[in-house]
Amino acid sequence: MRPRVLLVLQLTVALAVAGSPAIAQRGPRLEVTLPARAALREEGPTVRARNVLAERHVTDLLRNGFPARLHFRAELWTTGGFFNSLQRSTEWDVLVRFDALQRRYDVVRVVRDSATATTSFSQFADAVTEIERPMRAPITPLSQRKSQYYNVTLELEMLSVSDLDEVERWLRGELKPAVRGERNPGTAVGRGMRTLLARMLGGEVRRLEERSDTFRP
């Protein structure tokens, strides 16, 4: 086979692999699934994050002591007229941190300022599995038979070193959640510099958004 023909074949295979669904699905994404028809009036959508911690700089920041915060916001909208209308919203967080002393990853789910679940894993892959576990959003549709849909956003943020201290103290019950932004203003400058350092290292806020199908209860 001539070298030029071989090169063309290699490029064709490479492009085919890069464009395949299996490769395309490796990027960060958000999935929003409506409940079964029978439960549509009583339950909110199932929300699942995929590959949000897959990027190398994110895992490096985690292993170097920067906690990750996954902030979810689910909104219920109705359609009709000239504009869609926001009806309800709810928010929750997933925190993940690496405990260097214990050599473990702690995953905390926070709903309405309360830690609903705290789990620890020795392997990063197991922590990712927990983080990507589907969750039923604590929001329900309107009872009226209006066209409605859910819009869900996810923001991934690497917290600063001082935020890690607040997370530790909150987990011990000493503070309200650091993720709510209720912090001591006297340390704002120092915290700002550390947050800037995290973002210089690649820890800027990443945002994903996904909308459900339109439905009538």
Gap between the Cα atoms of 151 and 46, Å rounded? 12
pLDDT for 22 equals: 42
Task: Quickly list DSSP for 137-190.
Answer: -S----SS---EEEEEEEEEEEPPHHHHHHHHHHHTTSSS-GGGT---GGGHHH
pLDDT at 168: 65
Q: What residue ranges do the domains of the chain occupy?
A: 26-211
For every one of its 217 residues, what pLDDT tens digit does the chain have, with 9 covering 90 and above? 444 333 333 333 333 434 444 434 478 999 999 999 888 889 999 999 999 999 888 888 888 888 888 999 999 999 987 789 999 999 999 999 898 889 999 998 888 777 777 889 999 999 999 999 999 999 999 988 889 999 999 999 887 656 666 666 666 665 555 554 444 433 343 444 445 444 544 445 689 999 999 999 8
Q: Which of 105, 120, 121, 115 lies closest to 62, judged by CA?
A: 105
What local confidence, expressed as pLDDT, does residue 153 receive? 97
How many Cα atoms occupy the beta-carbon half-sphere of 201 within 13 Å?
A: 23
Instruction: Give the pLDDT of residue 206.
Output: 83
pLDDT reported for residue 13: 35
Predicted TM-score (pTM) of the model is: 0.73
pLDDT of residue 171: 64
